Amino acid sequence: MHELFLTAHIGEEDCPKALQILQGYCAMSPTSILRRRLYWNGPLLHNRGLDPTFITAQGQRARFWSSLSEQLIRQAYTVLLLYDVTRDQFPKAYTPAEEKPELDCDAIQGTLLWTDLPDPANPRPVNSRLLMTIEGEKGLCNLLESSSYKFTGEVVEEGYRFVHDYVVIYLTRYLDVPTEFQEMEYKGKPKVNKTMPSFESLAPFDSENKWILTASLQVLAASDLEHMQKGTDELMKIKADFEGCFDFQMKDRHIFDTRVKQ
- Residue 195 domain-assigned (yes or no): yes
User: Quick check: 230 and 96 in contact, CB under 8 A?
Assistant: no
Residue 84 forms part of a structural domain: yes
Question: What residues make up the domain containing 175?
Answer: 2-256
Burial class for 157, CB neighbours closer than 10 Å (0-12, 13-18, 19+): buried
Euclidean distance between CA atoms 171 and 161, whole angstroms: 7
In a domain, 206, yes or no: yes
For position 5, what pLDDT does the model report?
Answer: 96
SS3 for 172? strand
Q: Quick check: is 261 in a domain?
A: no
Question: Do strands 110-115 and 167-176 pair parallel, antiparallel, or not at all (unpaired)?
Answer: unpaired
pLDDT means over runs of 10, the chain (262 residues): 95 96 97 97 93 92 95 96 95 85 94 95 84 95 95 96 97 94 84 93 92 96 91 95 93 93 81
Structural domain contains residue 227: yes
Residue 262 belongs to some domain of the structure: no
Q: Does a structural domain hold residue 236?
A: yes
For position 125, what pLDDT does the model report? 87
DSSP per position, 82-137: EEE--GGGS--TT--GGGSPP--GGGS-EEEEEEPPPPPP-SSSSEEEEEEEEEEE
Q: How many domains does the chain have?
A: 1
56 in a structural domain: yes
Please state, as a whole number, how many other Cβ atoms lie within 10 Å of the Cβ of residue 255.
9
Cβ neighbours around 124 below 10 Å, total:
17
The enclosing domain of 92 has a CATH number of 2.40.320.10
Run of H or E including 39: strand 31-41
